Structure 1
Amino acid sequence: MWHALQTEISAFLGRPYPLADRHLMQRSPRCQLYRISDGQLALFVKLTDACHGDQLRAEAFGLGELSRFGPLQTPEVVCVGTTKGFGFLVMEYLPFSSPSRLGWQRLGEGLAALHQRQDQAMYGFDDDNFIGDSPQPNPWHKHWYRFFGEQRLAYQLELLAEKGLALEASSGLLDIAGRLLKHHQPGPSLLHGDLWRGNIGFVDDHPVVFDPACYYGDREADIAMTELFGRFDPDFYAAYDDDLPLPDDYEARRELYNLYHLLNHANLFGPHYLEQAQQSAARLLDLYGHQ
């Protein structure tokens, strides 16, 4: 397997890449992460079972789309594919350091610049992809409320039902989503889609984003997720808001957008997140269920 990887890397570089060092950085049931080097160039390798190869290809495609728009740095993809029972994604290795105020500010500015480029008329993406290990369908829609209601909330609720789990008053929840979003038709922005602290890093005060779940949607969904699993640094929000202020009624939608991620975590990781999703749904029903 490593010989096949060396061949792929050598083809990309246009020169031999003899493997001189291989360091296992992290191992989980889903994947292994390595730092490899030929003594001159260090690379980052993500390995999975071959059955997860589609996820790695989707990740590489998302990184390419984010890179194509320019304002946010992403790791350069060297090669992606499957070989000998493994899926692989090889990228440039970036030595991350502790974030600084300037780094957080640049992240806010870069995300605002990404979100400002609204040259897509519809919501969705060219390909379906993944949010964690869950499939994320992205068929194109003209209306944001339909896209989010059907392809985000309803889809995750269906996955729960397939596992024999349920969210109380789920039909009422979809009605609330329709009401909250029916007249909210933001310009479609390219979203990172899975923007939490674990998917960002910093190199010499420059932010780097990775592990995307890209699609075109409401920019508020990206911002909402930065507040879900531990808020980003205040300098990030100040810089973003200076360049692209959030609307006054953003908070009315934040809970709804983050419910998608709680439902996904419930599907992936079980009861603890199902309880959090139920609590979130209850808050939405209390606030908007009688309107």
Structure 2
Amino acid sequence: MWKSVSQVLADQFGAYYNIKEKAKVHHGEMHESWLINDHIQPVFVKSNEKSYRSMFRAEADQLALLAATNTIHVPQVYGVGCSQNHSFLLLEALPIEAVEEDAMAEFGRQLARLHQSGATQKYGLEFDTWLGPVYQPNEWKTNWATFFAEQRIGWQLQICKEKSIQFGDIDEIIRTVAARLAKHKPQPALLHGNLWIENCAKVGNKIFTYDPACYWGDRECDLAFSELFEPFPASFYRSYQQSYPLPEGYQARKPIYQLYYLLNFSHRFNGNYINLTRKIINSLS
């Protein structure tokens, strides 16, 4: 694999990349991660079996999509490639520091600008993505309630059912969610889609975010997930609200949007996520 990595980086940097240091840094839920260095340019490498190339390509395309908005900071993509048995994604290596309050205030303003970028009138994306290791369909829809109820809640409920985790009648839950959102017609916003504290880091005086699950949807989804487990510092929400105030009814919609992520975590990790999921579903009826 490493010869192929060097070849892709040579195309990126214009000179052969001679790997002089290589260290495994984090074994995530799916991929292996490495930090490599030629003593000039460190590079972060995600790797997996060859069949994962399409997932890495989608991640690279999403990071490029976010970067093109000139709003939030994301790692630069150096390339996607394959060897005989492996696929890999090559990213800018970030000198990560602990998140601080002041930097998060600016990040709130940047996220507000992201959510105001673009002018699509549909919900979805040109390609499908993944939330963690789970496929995320993004078929274009003109109705937000239909999109979210079917392609987010219904999709995750079906995966839970296939893993013998039952939350009730799937069609009935989909109808209930759609009814709750029926009068809400948000302007489609480009979402990070996987925005929580685990996917953010301070680099210098900037907040970088990664591992996206992008699509055009209700901007409230990004905010709702950021509040679910370990909320961002108060300065983030304050500056976001000052830059792009949330509409009336967000607090009522927030648990519905958090339900998507809780369903995803339920079939990935089980445990207390199932209880939290069931509590929200029961509150909808």
Q: Percent of aligned positions with the same letter in both sequences?
A: 33
Q: Is the 8 A contact 2:30 2:133 kept in 1?
A: no
Alpha-carbon spacing, 1:43–1:246, altered in 2? closer, same or farther (3 Å)? same
Q: 1-side partners of 2:208 and 2:27: how far apart?
A: 22
How far 1:174 sits from its partner (Å)? 2.1
* Residue identity matched to 1:50: K
Q: Classify the secondary structure of the residue corresponding to 1:75.
A: coil
Q: 2-side partners of 1:118 and 1:8: how far apart?
A: 31
Which deviations, in whole Å up to 9, do the C-alpha atoms of 1:103-140 show, x marking residues without a partner?
A: 10111000000001241110000001100111100000
Q: Classify the secondary structure of the residue corresponding to 1:69.
A: coil
Alpha-carbon spacing, 1:54–1:99, altered in 2? closer, same or farther (3 Å)? same
Q: 2-side partners of 1:102 and 1:169: how far apart?
A: 45
Show the counterpart of 1:9. 9
Return structure 1 stretches of 4+ with deviation > 6 angstroms.
none
Q: Classify the secondary structure of the residue corresponding to 2:228.
A: coil
Number of aligned residue pairs: 285
Show the counterpart of 1:192. 192
After superposing the two structures, state which structure 1 stretch, 45-54 or 87-96, moved more: 45-54
How far 1:280 sits from its partner (Å)? 1.6
Q: Is the 8 A contact 2:112 2:240 kept in 1?
A: yes
Q: Is the 8 A contact 1:35 1:93 kept in 2?
A: yes
Show the counterpart of 1:76. 76
Which deviations, in whole Å up to 9, do the C-alpha atoms of 1:86-113 show, x marking residues without a partner?
A: 1200011110112222210111000000
Matched, 1:281 2:281: yes
After superposing the two structures, state which structure 1 stretch, 157-166 or 220-229, moved more: 157-166
After superposing the two structures, state which structure 1 stretch, 167-176 or 214-223, moved more: 167-176
Q: 1-side partners of 2:253 and 2:83: how far apart?
A: 43
Which deviations, in whole Å up to 9, do the C-alpha atoms of 1:204-247 show, x marking residues without a partner?
A: 12011110000000000000000112110001001100100111
Show the counterpart of 1:114. 114
Show the counterpart of 1:237. 237
What are the within-5 Å matches in structure 2 for residues 1-291 of structure 1? 1-28=1-28, 30-285=30-285
How far 1:165 sits from its partner (Å)? 2.3
Q: Classify the secondary structure of the residue corresponding to 1:94.
A: coil
Which deviations, in whole Å up to 9, do the C-alpha atoms of 1:241-277 show, x marking residues without a partner?
A: 0100111210111000010011111122234322221
Q: 2-side partners of 1:28 and 1:116: how far apart?
A: 32
How far 1:31 sits from its partner (Å)? 1.6
Q: 2-side partners of 1:55 and 1:194: how far apart?
A: 15
Uncovered stretches (5+) of structure 2, i.e. residues with no partner: none
How far 1:156 sits from its partner (Å)? 0.9
Q: 1-side partners of 2:40 and 2:217: how far apart?
A: 41
Q: 1-side partners of 2:74 and 2:94: how far apart?
A: 10
Which deviations, in whole Å up to 9, do the C-alpha atoms of 1:49-73 show, x marking residues without a partner?
A: 2222222111111101000111111
- Give the TM-score, by structure 2 length: 0.96
Cα-Cα RMSD? 1.3
Q: 2-side partners of 1:163 and 1:234: how far apart?
A: 37
Q: 1-side partners of 2:219 and 2:194: how far apart?
A: 12
Q: 1-side partners of 2:186 and 2:248: how far apart?
A: 14
Which deviations, in whole Å up to 9, do the C-alpha atoms of 1:177-210 show, x marking residues without a partner?
A: 1222111111000000000111111111201111
Q: Classify the secondary structure of the residue corresponding to 1:231.
A: coil
* Residue identity matched to 2:12: F
How far 1:159 sits from its partner (Å)? 1.2
Q: Classify the secondary structure of the residue corresponding to 1:245.
A: coil
* Residue identity matched to 1:21: E
Q: 1-side partners of 2:239 and 2:214: how far apart?
A: 22
Q: 2-side partners of 1:28 and 1:76: how far apart?
A: 20
* Residue identity matched to 1:259: L
